[in-house]
A and B are shown apart, each in its own frame.
Chain A
C-alpha cells in the first residue's frame, strides 16, 4: 500500500488535482471542458517531444538538441510549403511533413553517431549540434522568419478535432502506446533498459549497443521534429525561438514522471502525467495573471522542489 502511495504516478496525480483546485479557485473557467481540452492539446506537443527524450534518458544519455531540432524541422516543412506555393507545385504540401521529419531523423542520426561511435559525452555533443543547427538555420533564412506556412495536414493534426477531441491528442496517445509497448515488451526496449543500467554488461551479453543507441537518438529526433511540426501547425508558421521553451519542460516532465535522470528505468505512464502537470502549471501561472519574471521563478522553483521531494519519498519505477 505504501508502495502505491509512494509511486511517482500517484504523487503526480495528486499534484495535478491540486493545481486544478488552485486554478479553479482563481478562475471559474479553469475547469471548463473546452479549456481543459485545449490544455491537453497543448500538452500533446510537449508530450510527443518528451516521448523521444524518454528513450534517450533511459539509455543514460541526454538530448539537448531538442529546441533546434524542433525549430529546424518546422522551418524546413513550412519553407517547402512556401517554395512550392511560389512555384505553384501541387506536391509540395504533401512533402512538407516527410521532409520536416527527415530533418529531425537526420539530426538524431548525427547525435547517435557522435555519442555511440565517436564516444563524445551526449551532453556536449547534442549541445554542440543544437548550436550548429541554430547557426545553419539562421544562415539559410538570413535570420528572418522563413516565408511559408504550415501544410493542411500539419494544421489538421495540430488544431483539428475528431469526435470532439483534438487530433493532437490522438497523435500523442498513439505514439505513447507504441513507445510503452516498445519499452516493455520488445527486444529493443529491454536492450535500452539494459544499456542504461550498464553498457559494458549489455555489450558483453551480445547486445549491439551502438546500433541501439543510434536508433534511440533517431527516434528522439523524429519525435522532436513531429513536436515542431505540430507546433508550427498550431501557429501556422515556423519561427526562430519556437523550440527554446521546450527543453526544460521536457526533462522536467520525464523526471517528475518517475524516470531516473541517470538512466536504466523509465515509465511512459508517469511521463504522460508529468507532461500534463507541467502544462497545467504554466497555465495556472498565466491564469493567476502574474508578471513574467514571477512566473518563471515560481515555475522553476516548483519543478526543483518537486524533484527534491522525489529523491526523499519515492522509489524509482522499474
Chain B
C-alpha cells in the first residue's frame, strides 16, 4: 500500500510522460460577431494530464474559445486538431464524441427533471437508449458523493440551491468521462469546502491523463490548482507560461494590459457613532437562527462562511422578501417592520438589495439599459403615473457616466452587455434610489479584475459618503480586502465576528467550519 506521498510522486511521474503529449491544438482560430472580433488568430496547445488556466477580463475571448471547443460556434478561420489529427467540431454532439465536456457558468440543467435525469440527459443508460433507472441513480449517487454533495439523485433540480445545482452540473460533465474537461467559472457559487473537494478530484483526473481547462477570475484558485496559465486579452492569446513563473500582480497586468496599483481601496479608521442597522435575534424557518449584528454608517460589513448557512436568507429577510421573520430590526434607532421590497426601498427606510443572480433577479435581460436602470426609481420620475421623459434621460445619462457603463446607447438591451457591465447596471439601478443601507449578494461573481476593482472603489466611496453596506461573498479575499468587520455564519447564525488583525484567512476558515473558536456562541448545528 503506497503512502499518499508515494502516490503523488507516481502520479507526478506519469504526468511527466503524459504531459508532453498534446491533446488539443488550436491554430489560427478567428471568430467575429458582426463587427466585433471575439477571437483573433489564436494558437493554443492543451497538453494531456494538465490543469490549464485560462485567464482574462470579460470580453477577452474566453467564452468564445470555449464555444469553439465545444462546437457551439464554428470559427471563421483556423483549424482544431485532436491528438494530431484535424478535427471538425461541427456541433456539441461531435465535441462530446471527441471526449470534450464542459461545465458552463450558466447552468445548463433542466429545472423540472430529477438530478439523475439531468446528469444522464441525452444518453440512455440501458440498451437501445432506454433509461435504466436503477443504474442511472446508482451512478449519479456515486458521482455526487465523490463531489461531496448531499443532494439525492431523485431530487428535482428546481428545488436545489445555486451551489448544489453547480455541483450537479459538474457531476453531469464528469459522467461523460471526458478527456478534456472545461470548467467555466465552475466554482463561483461553491463554498470553500466544496471547492477543496472538487480540486482533489480534478488533480486525480489529471493524474489519469485528463486535460482540464480551468477558467476563473480567482487568482488564488489558479495558484493552488493549475500547472499552466494562458492569458487572453481582447480576443488574442497573449502568453502561456508555467504556473508560478509570474507573480499575481504581473498576471493581472498581462490581463489588463496596464498595471493596477491596488485592487482594494484603503480602509478608513473604524466607524463610530450610532448604528444605522441593528439586528437582534433575527430568525426564520429554521434557516436563520437568532442572527444579531449592527452596521454603522460608513461601514462595510462582510458576511462570510460556507455556502448555505443562512447568509442569503438574512439579506432577503432584511429586504422584506421573507414572510414570518421573527426578531427585531432597528433602523436608525427605530424598530421597523420591513414587509416588502417596495417598503424596504421607500424613502422611510432606503434599503437596496443587489441580489445573488443578476440575470434572473437583478435584471430584465431583454429590456433596455434605460428601462432596467429606472425600474426601481420610476415612481420618483412620474407625475400622476406618467413618466417624465426628460428626467428619465438625465438620470440614465448620469448613472451610465457615474458607473462608466460601456454601451453604444441606453436603448441597447442589457443582454448585449458584458457580465461586468451588467452588474454595473444592477448597482446603478439601486444607486439611483440614494439608499442608506446597501445589501449585496456576491456582487463580483464572474466579473473580471478591472471591473471588480471599480466596484470595490465604488462601494468604499459610498460608505465614505455615509451609506452602510452589508456584503455577502463566497470569496474570502474580498472579506479580508474590502470589509471593515466580518460576521461568519454557521448553522444559520453568526458564529464569530472578525475585525482588524483577526480578519485573516485562517480565522475565516476556522470559524466557517466551527473549529475550536474561542467565540462564545457556538449555538449553530444541523
Contact = CB atoms under 8 A, between A and B. Distances in A.
A204 B413 CA distance: 20
Interface string B346-363: 100000010100001111
B345 A206 contact: yes
Contacts of A6: none
B371 A190 contact: yes
A194 interface: yes
Interface string B30-74: 000000000000000000000000000000000000000000000
A317 to B, nearest CB: 11
Contact of B375 (A190, A200, A208, A318): A190
Given A186-B382, A204-B362, A197 B367 contact: yes
Contact of B361 (A186, A201, A207): A201
B204 to A, nearest CB: 39
A310 to B, nearest CB: 17
Contact of A186 (B355, B375, B386): B386
Contact of B364 (A187, A188, A202): A202
A198 B353 CA distance: 17
A201 B429 contact: no
A312 interface: no
B333 interface: no
Contacts of A194: 364, 367, 371, 375
B382 A193 contact: no
A186 B387 contact: yes
Contacts of B362: 201, 204
B450 interface: no
B378 interface: yes
Nearest to B342: A206
A2 interface: no
Contacts of B345: 206
B387 A200 contact: no
A187 B386 CA distance: 6
B360 A207 contact: no
Interface string A176-204: 00000000011110110110011011111
B367 A318 contact: yes
Contact of B366 (A187, A197, A208): A197
Contacts, number: 75
A205 B385 CA distance: 17
B321 interface: yes
Interface residues of B, number: 31
A191 B379 CA distance: 10
Given A186-B385, A190-B387, A205 B376 contact: yes
B344 interface: yes
A194 B368 CA distance: 11
A32 B246 CA distance: 83
Nearest to B320: A206
Contacts of B376: 205-206
Contacts of A100: none
A265 B365 CA distance: 12
Contacts of B413: 318
Interface in A201-246: 201-208
Contacts of B375: 190-191, 194, 202, 205, 207
Nearest to B378: A187
Interface string B292-332: 00000000000000000000000000010100000000000
A205 to B, nearest CB: 4
Contacts of A265: 366
Contact of A201 (B342, B363, B382, B385): B363
B92 interface: no
A276 to B, nearest CB: 28
Nearest to A189: B387
A264 interface: yes
Given A186-B385, A204-B341, A318 B378 contact: no
A193 B385 contact: no
Contacts of B364: 194, 197-198, 201-202, 264
A204 B361 contact: yes
Interface of A: 185-188, 190-191, 193-194, 197-198, 200-208, 264-265, 318
Interface of B: 319, 321, 340-342, 344-346, 353, 355, 360-368, 371, 374-376, 378-379, 382, 385-387, 413, 429
5 contacts: A187-B378, A194-B375, A201-B360, A206-B345, A318-B413
Pairs of residues from A and B, 4 with the lowest C-beta to C-beta distance, nearest first: A197-B364, A206-B345, A205-B376, A206-B342
Given A197-B367, A206-B345, A207-B375, 7 more contacts: A190-B387, A200-B361, A202-B364, A203-B321, A204-B341, A206-B341, A318-B368
